[in-house]
Structure 1
């Protein structure tokens, strides 16, 4: 398995199904994620720093097996920016 770190530049949903196929660019590397792709879409936006683990396929695309967001996930940032008050 190969470990990569970087910044997500572009996110695109290639196949919309029960398990979507998501394409993104990590710096200059083309990456695909299918497992945990819905969580990935909730956690990551453009210019988010991530660490990924996976391997390259025959088309030289990096297929992601695991990912980790460095810093706060996007869903937490959106929740903190919410205009609705916190429940007590």
Structure 2
């Protein structure tokens, strides 16, 4: 299994059924199908990530696993929400 680390340059959803996400990691062209929508929600252009996977016959890197190295987009959206947090025990 190969590993790549770097900053995402481009990211886009190629297919929705089944989900397939294309992203460019430095100069490397990558695809992710497993947990693609979660990756699309967590990562954004400029995010630093580590991906593990293999190359296909076209030379594209197919990611099997990933890890976002900084606070992801979902966490930032949640923490910057203008709605107050509920206190424990309140409905």
**TM-score (ref. length: structure 1):** 0.94
1:42, distance to aligned residue in structure 2 (A) = 1.5
Aligned to 1:16: 16
Could you tell me which runs of 5 or more consecutive residues in structure 2 were left unpaired when the two chains were aligned: none
- Number of positions where the alignment pairs a residue of Structure 1 with one of Structure 2: 87
Could you tell me which runs of 5 or more consecutive residues in structure 1 were left unpaired when the two chains were aligned: none
1:85, distance to aligned residue in structure 2 (A) = 1.2
Aligned to 1:60: 59
The answer as to whether partners of 2:8 and 2:45 remain within 8 angstroms in 1 is yes
Query: What is the alpha-carbon distance in structure 2 between the residues aligned to residue 46 and residue 82 of structure 1?
Result: 21
Structure number, greater radius of gyration:
2
Q: Which secondary structure does the structure 2 equivalent of 1:75 belong to?
A: helix
Query: What is the alpha-carbon distance in structure 1 between the residues aligned to residue 45 and residue 86 of structure 2?
Result: 30
Question: Which stretches of structure 1, 4 residues or more, deviate above 3 A after TM superposition?
Answer: none
**TM-score (ref. length: structure 2):** 0.91
What do you get for the CA RMSD once the two structures are aligned? 0.8
The answer as to whether partners of 2:4 and 2:51 remain within 8 angstroms in 1 is yes
Query: What is the alpha-carbon distance in structure 2 between the residues aligned to residue 11 and residue 29 of structure 1?
Result: 12
1:38, distance to aligned residue in structure 2 (A) = 1.2
